[in-house]
């Protein structure tokens, strides 16, 4: 996969996440709200991993990725809605919220492939 393909894939996913956010609004069904949170965290994570340019911009994308991952983690801890093998309450996620977001995104993808 080329860098162009990677950036194009991230741009498509960010657009889909943005559209999903507009579609669900504030009164979203719980499942759709969580899907939005999972996809938003995953897209921010992918973007932060691909940003190799300006150090300030890279720091901002990493900050965003951690922020969205923590939001997903807090949501799943509160509602016990995680789908991955390790629950949101597992202490390892305190130091690795992006790892939790990756786990949950993999689970979300697998749910759709079946």
DSSP state of 91: G
Residue 98 near residue 71 (C-beta atoms within 8 A) = no
Residue 40 near residue 17 (C-beta atoms within 8 A) = yes
What global pTM score does this model have?
0.84
Q: Which of 51, 42, 49 is closest to 13 using CA atoms? A: 42
Q: Where in the chain are the domains?
A: 3-113
Residue 20 near residue 37 (C-beta atoms within 8 A) = no
Q: What is the pLDDT of residue 51?
A: 62
Cα angle 87-23-18, degrees, rounded to a multiple of 5? 70
Q: What is the pLDDT of residue 97?
A: 98
Q: 97-113 and 30-50 are packed helices; what angle lies between their axes, rounded to 10 degrees?
A: 120
Q: Name the stretches of the chain with pLDDT < 50.
A: none
């Amino acid at each position: 996969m080329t860098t162009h393909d990677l950036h194009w894939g991230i741009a498509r996913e960010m657009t889909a996440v943005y559209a999903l956010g507009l579609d669900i609004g504030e009164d979203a069904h719980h499942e759709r709200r969580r899907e939005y949170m999972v996809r938003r965290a995953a897209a921010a994570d992918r973007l932060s991993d691909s940003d190799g340019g300006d150090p300030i911009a890279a720091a901002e994308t990493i900050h965003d990725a951690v922020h969205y991952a923590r939001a997903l983690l807090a949501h799943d801890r509160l509602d016990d809605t995680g789908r991955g093998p390790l629950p949101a309450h597992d202490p390892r996620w305190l130091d690795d919220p992006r790892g939790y977001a990756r786990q949950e995104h993999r689970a979300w993808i697998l749910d759709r492939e079946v």
